[in-house]
Structure 1
Amino acid sequence: MPDYLVRGPIAIIAALLAPLAVSAVLLPFRAGLTTANVALVLVLVVVAAAALGHRLAGALAAVSAAVWFDFFFTVPYQRLTITSSADITTAVVLLAVGLAVSQLAARARRLHVVTITDADHLARIHHAAHLAETATSPDAVVECVRAQLVGLLHLRGCRFQYGTLLGHGPRLEDDGSLTWGRGKWDVDRLGMPAQEIELRVVAGGHFHGRFLLRPTPGTTPSLQARLVAVTLADQAGAALQTTWAKTASSP
C-alpha cells in the first residue's frame, strides 16, 4: 500500500476506529478487568497508531481511547459520565499519556534516521550540529547546510530565504514526505518535481526562513536522504534561534 495512504487518510480513520475495536474485544471481559489494565491496553493502541501513522493520528487515537474508555469501562456504563474519582484520574492519565506517546512516536521516526543512514549521512549531521554549537554567526551554519543539501539531494541549486514569506509550491515535511497544496507528492514513484521545493526552518516555535531546493530532473532522493535534509535544516534553525533569543533578550 502506498506510504502516503498509510500515513494519510487511512491513518486518520484507523486512529479513530482502532480504540473502539479493541474496546469491543475487551468488553465481554469487563467484569474481570481493572480500569488500569484496560487503560494500558488502550495506550498500546495509541502507540501503534502514532508509530504507523503520524502525530495527528496518534493524538486522535488518544482522544478516541479516552472516550471509549469512559463509555464502556467506567460506571455508569454506556454514558460519557464518570462518577469514580479513581476512574477520572485513570481517564485523564490515559489521555495525557496517549498524547505524549503520539508526540514521542513522531519524534522517534525523525530520530530513527540516525540508526538507518550510512556514515556519510551521519557525518553531515554531526558536522552541522557541531557548527551550530560553535559558529559565531548563524549565516555560517545556514551556508554549510545549504551546501550539504545540494550534495545530499543532488540539487541543481539551493538558496536560503530569511523571513516569514511562505510559498504555495511543494514542501518537504518533517517526516520526509513531500506535500503540494492539499495532497501528497509520491517522490518514490514520481521523483522530485521540477518546481522549487520549500524546506522550512522552524525552531523554538519561531519561523526563521526556508531553504528553496532546486531539484535535478530525474533524481529521486531516498527517504533517508530526505529525513537527513530535514535534520540538517533543524541545525540551521537551532543556530538562528540562538541568535534570535539573544537579540530578543537584549535591552
Structure 2
Amino acid sequence: MPHYLARDRVAIVAAVVAPLAVTAVLVPFRTTFANANAALVLVVVVVAVAAVGNRLAGAIAALSAAAWFDLFLTRPYERFAITRSADVTAAILLLAVGLAVSQLAARARRLQVVAITDADYLAQIHDTAELAQSAATPDAIVDQVRGQLTGLLQLRGCRYEYGTLLGHPPRLEQDGTVVAGRARWDVDRSGLPDQEVELRTYSGGHFYGRFMMQPTPGAVPPLQARLVAVTLADQVGAALDTSRTARGGS
C-alpha cells in the first residue's frame, strides 16, 4: 500500500478518536473553562488532522469535534442539545472552521505544497484537465498523459497497465520521490532508476492502473516535473473513476 494511502487511513481514525480524546481531557474543567476556548482547542485538533490527512479526514474531524463539543461540553451535558445561544454559535463556528480548514488542507496536499510556476507545466495540467472535461474517453486521456509523461520525465517509452499490480518495480510517489525496494532513490543525484518505474493512478479509494515508464539513462527530471507527472496521473485516475461511476460500477 502506498504510504499516502496508509497515512489517509490513520488520519481518518484520528479524525474520530482525537477530538473525543481531547474532549475527555476538557470534561473535568468544563464548568470553569470557557466553551469558546474549548472550541478553539478542538479547532486546533481539526487543523492537525486535516494537515496530515485529506479532505475526508478533515471533514470527519470537524463533525466529530462538533458532536463531542455538543455532547460533553455544553449544557445540558451528555445530551445532544444546546440551550445557550453562545454555545450554539461556538458549535456552528467549530464545524464551519473545521470544514473550511479540511478543504484548504486538501488543496495544499493536491498541489504537493510546491508551487508549480513553470508556464509549460501549467499548460500541460490545464490541457489534460480540459480534455477530461470534454467528451473524451478515459483511453484518450490516458494516451495524452502517456505522451506528456514521456516529455516531462525524458522517457524512452511509457505504457499504461489497467488494474494490474505485478512485481515490485521502483515507484514514483505522490510527493515526487522515487522508492526502489524499501529505500528512497536519489533522483536528483542519480536520475531515475535504470529499469521501469511505475506511477499508479488512484481516485475515490480505487486503484485503476499504472503508468510503466522507461527512463532514459542519464536523464535527471527535476522535482517540479515529477510533481506535475503525479498531478497528471491523478487526473487520469479521476477520469477513470468518473467513467466507472457513470457505468454504475462498484
TM-score (norm 1): 0.62
Give the Cα–Cα distance (whole angstroms) in 2 for the partners of residues 62 and 168 of structure 1. 40
Q: Which runs of 5+ in 2 are unaligned?
A: none
CA contact (8 A) 1:168 1:180 kept: no
d(CA) in 2 for partners of 1:226, 1:142: 17
1:208-247 equivalences in 2 (<5 Å)? 208-246=208-246
- Report if the CA contact (8 A) 1:149-1:158 is conserved: yes
Quote the Cα distance in structure 2 between the aligned partners of 1:168 and 1:50: 33
Cα 1:222–1:166 change in 2 (3 A) is same
- Aligned residues of 1:20 and 1:68 also touching (Cα < 8 A): no
**Counterparts in 2 of 1:177 and 1:42: CA distance versus 1, 3 Å:** farther
**RMSD of aligned residue pairs (Cα, Å):** 5.0
Please name the residue that 1:200 is paired with: 200
Helix, strand or coil: the match of 2:194?
coil
Given that 2:177 and 2:184 are in contact with CA atoms closer than 8 Å, whether structure 1 keeps it comes out as yes
Instruction: Return the offset for 1:237.
Output: 3.0
Q: For residues 1-251 of structure 1, what are the structure 2 equivalents within 5 Å?
A: 31-34=32-35, 36-48=36-48, 50-51=50-51, 53-55=52-54, 82=78, 85-86=81-82, 101-102=101-102, 104-111=104-111, 115-134=115-134, 136-162=136-162, 164-169=163-168, 170-179=170-179, 183=182, 185=184, 187=186, 191=190, 192-246=192-246, 248=247
Structure 1 residues 136 and 172, CA gap change in structure 2 (3 angstroms) = same
* Cα shift at 1:142: 1.4
| Separation (CA, whole Å) in 1 of partners of 2:239 and 2:57 | 31
> Following TM superposition, by how much is the alpha carbon of 1:129 offset from its aligned partner in structure 2, in angstroms?
1.6
> What does the per-residue CA deviation read over 1:132-176, in whole Å, with 9 as the maximum and x for residues that have no partner?
2335443332111111111112223211112x2114533333343
The percent of aligned pairs where both chains have the same amino acid is 55
Q: Deviations over 1:8-43 (max 9, x none)?
A: 8xx98xx999x989x989x98972421x43223332
My pick for the range that moved more, 56-65 or 36-45, is: 56-65
38 and 178 in structure 1: CA distance in 2 versus 1, 3 angstrom threshold? farther
Helix, strand or coil: the match of 1:146? Answer: helix
The CA deviation at 1:101 is 4.2
Task: Report the CA distance shift for 1:66/1:180 in structure 2 as closer, same or farther (over 3 A).
Answer: farther
Normalised TM-score (structure 2): 0.62
2:159 counterpart SS class: strand
| Counterpart residue identity of residue 165, structure 1 | T
Number of positions where the alignment pairs a residue of Structure 1 with one of Structure 2: 232
- One-letter code of the match for 2:227? L
In structure 2, relative to structure 1, the CA distance for the partners of 1:73 and 1:211 (3 Å cut) is same
Give the structure with the larger helix fraction.
Answer: 1
Q: Which moved more, 1:101-110 or 1:114-123?
A: 101-110
Q: Distance in 2 between matches of 1:119 and 1:111?
A: 15
Contact 1:187-1:220 within 8 A present in 2 as well = no
Flag the 1:124–1:98 CA change in 2: closer, same or farther, 3 A.
same
Using the TM superposition, give the Cα deviation of residue 234 of structure 1 relative to its aligned residue in structure 2, in angstroms: 2.6
Q: 1:100 to 1:118 in 2, by over 3 A?
A: same
